[in-house]
Amino acid sequence: MPEKLTPTPRILMGPGPSDVHPEVLKAMSSPLMGHLDPEFVQLMDTVKAMVQDTFLTKNPLTFVVSGPGSAGMETCLVNLLEPGDDCIICINGVFGGRMADIAGRCGAKVHKVNTEWGKVTEPSQLKKALDECPHPKLVALVHAETSTGALQPMEEISEMVHDAGALLMVDGVTSYCGVPLKVDEWNIDAVYSGSQKCLSAPPGLSPVSFSAKAVKALENRKSKVQSWFLDLSLVKNYWSGAKRAYHHTAPVSAIFALYESLRLVLDEGLEKRWARHHEVHQYLASQLEPMGFRFLVEEKYRLPNLNTMFLPGGYDEAKIRNALLNQYNIEVGGGLGDFAGKLWRIGIMGESCTHNHVNMLAGALKELMK
């Protein structure tokens, strides 16, 4: 007979998931109801409105994909790209590379803008790509690269993309609700995120939003979307209020949790939440830099909620990281790709973004690094 499930309580300071508010966990444990129950349908409408508010958009086609952030990424690409379409993908870490992979699977002609990991894509790099591919259907890039902690400036890039007549697609998985992400003001045509980062909900859902221009591209497709489950022409009708049409069985408990996490974000206020992440990031730097930790990313491009840091010389990053987990129940993330075994990814996201989290981490490190 299997033992009763008793997961060890952790202090989550890795690249995600982040700690979850007790009220969110409580919401997730609410009694189930049918996914077409009128009460649940009304809740979906409220969740949609809250996602619009937190994305700072009025896009009607804004909803939540029943899948993690990677499903949101794939939703954007498979709906907006067809075989033979030209697209430009900016790559400065793992997730730009993943977008290029999916775009290639769509049959698109992928033009890559490669940037050294830890840096951001410069407008001059995009200009060169647009000189070589002047009429792409879509340009995609990562706003907050989780593998490196680099935060991409968006406004000049957005202007260049739209001057070229292209759609702008943005990965907002680690920036959503942690730093400014202004979908309408920055003229973003397709954006996706995840529930488990700065939103501090359980993993498994992906808020997305599409501009009118993106919807028009979808309506003008010459071929069917290659994925049935992620086909916006079908799934959008499931989030269309009173005219809702059955598409799939929504993850009811996860939507309950998402509702409560969005409510908490809006109760705090987006600008106050952005300021909190920035202030705790500065406090983290003040505690770890004197210990010999150093940042990968140049200060003006640092993502405050995901800190990529090299350990002081002579320390085995995996050994210290495992000791943090096993002795202090504190999770931090190791490096990915080029930085595997070389640095940490320290998350201070959502409910994990507090002075006390930083104090717990710094105190444990002082003991372990004596």
Do residues 322 and 330 make contact, with C-beta atoms less than 8 angstroms apart? no
Amino acid type, 107: G
Q: Where are the alpha helices (DSSP H) in the chain?
A: 22-28, 38-55, 69-80, 94-105, 123-132, 155-163, 212-219, 232-235, 252-268, 270-288, 317-328, 355-368
Confidence of residue 36 (pLDDT cuts 50, 70, 90): confident
Average pLDDT, the chain: 96
Residue whose structure tokens are 């290029």: 100
Q: What mean pLDDT is predicted for residues 65-82?
A: 97
Alpha helices in 56-183 (DSSP H): 69-80, 94-105, 123-132, 155-163
- Residue 169 CB-half CA count within 13 A: 28
* Calpha distance 312→286 (Å, rounded): 15
User: Nearest CA to 62 among 181, 210, 213?
Assistant: 210
Domain locations in the chain as residue ranges: 11-16+269-368, 22-265
User: Mean per-residue pLDDT for 120-146?
Assistant: 98
Residue 85 has pLDDT above 70, yes or no: yes
Do 11-16+269-368 and 22-265 come out as alike in CATH topology? no
pLDDT digits (tens, 9 = 90+) for 198-247: 999 999 999 999 999 999 999 999 999 999 999 998 888 888 766 777 88
Rounded to an integer, the average pLDDT of 339-356 is 97
Q: Using alpha carbons only, what angle is made at residue 91 by residues 89 and 96, rounded to the nearest 5 degrees?
A: 80
Both structure tokens of 11 = 């202090």
Percent of the chain with pLDDT over 90: 93
pLDDT of residue 56 exceeding 80, the answer is yes
Pick one of 3.40.640.10, 3.40.50.720, 2.30.30.100, 3.90.1150.10 as the CATH number of 22-265. Answer: 3.40.640.10
> Other C-beta atoms within 10 Å of 125: how many?
16
Identity of residue 252:
V
**Dihedral pair phi/psi, residue 229, rounded to 5°:** -65, -35
Ordered DSSP codes for 173-195: TTTTTTS---TTTTT-SEEE--S
CB 150 within 8 A of CB 93: yes
Fold (CATH) for 11-16+269-368: Aspartate Aminotransferase, domain 1 (3.90.1150)
What integer pLDDT is reported at residue 13 of this predicted model?
Answer: 98
pLDDT higher than threshold 70 for residue 33? yes
Q: How many C-beta neighbours within 10 Å does residue 270 have?
A: 17
Residue written as token pair 């993993």: 203
In b/e form, how buried is each residue of 274-299, taking b as 16+ CB within 10 angstroms? bebbbebbebbbebbeeeebebbbee
What's the distance, CA 115 to chain centroid? Answer: 20
Count CB neighbours of 344 within 10 A.
Answer: 25
